[in-house]
Amino acid sequence: MRLEGKVVIVTGARMGIGEGVAVSLAKDGADLVLVSRKISEEDAIVKACKDLGRKVMVFRADVGKRSDVQDMVNETMSAFGKIDGLFNNAGISKPAMLLKMTEEVWDDIIRINLTGTFYCIQAVANAMLERKTGSIVNVTSSAGLLGTIGQVNYTAAKGGVHALTKSAAKELARYNIRVNCISPMAET
């Protein structure tokens, strides 16, 4: 169990990539804080991680709200006393063509996918500073590098996450806090 004794926050943990990563982290011994806007103690992911013998805290948050993110970090620190890792996976998609995209649709994607990622990095990194160690992994997308038709908001946000990751890695390296990103690509 490589991650025995480690505490990892997983945002967007209720399904998909976040769910898969949470189970993998639990199998490797990590205790988890599972975060999503709609997550509950009854969700299958919570049971799956607890069944692996891990401590699991469930936290409902909108990562696009700074106060929710700070509450998430504060409650994690109260419950576990530390944060070793963040898997920054929360994200949404609202496809629309550039010429017809509303301000609301643009803002929602940027707020969750880019600003929410920033809020999580900032809050978690501040909690990691005292121990001078930690690992943050952001989920971006190949769309952020390649662009896609009908998703200018999503591609802009994910491209921003890629650049944010590079800058955060350079700033936080002096504190032994690693910041990386993964860029899944669907093949259809």
51-56 long-range Cβ contacts below 8 angstroms, 24+ apart: 52/23, 52/26, 52/27, 54/26, 54/29, 54/30, 55/31, 55/80, 56/26, 56/31, 56/32
CA atoms of 113 and 2, how far apart (whole Å): 30
CA 99, distance to chain mean position in Å, is 30
Catalytic residue among 154, 164, 165, 172: 154
Alpha carbon dihedral 41, 56, 69, 24, in 10-degree steps, equals -110
Is 154 labeled as catalytic in the residue annotation? yes
Structure tokens at 63: 């990562």
Residue with tokens 């990562």: 63
By CB atoms closer than 10 A (0-12, 13-18, 19+), residue 55 is middle
Place of tokens 């643009």: 106
Task: Report, as residue numbers or ranges, the catalytic residues.
Answer: 154
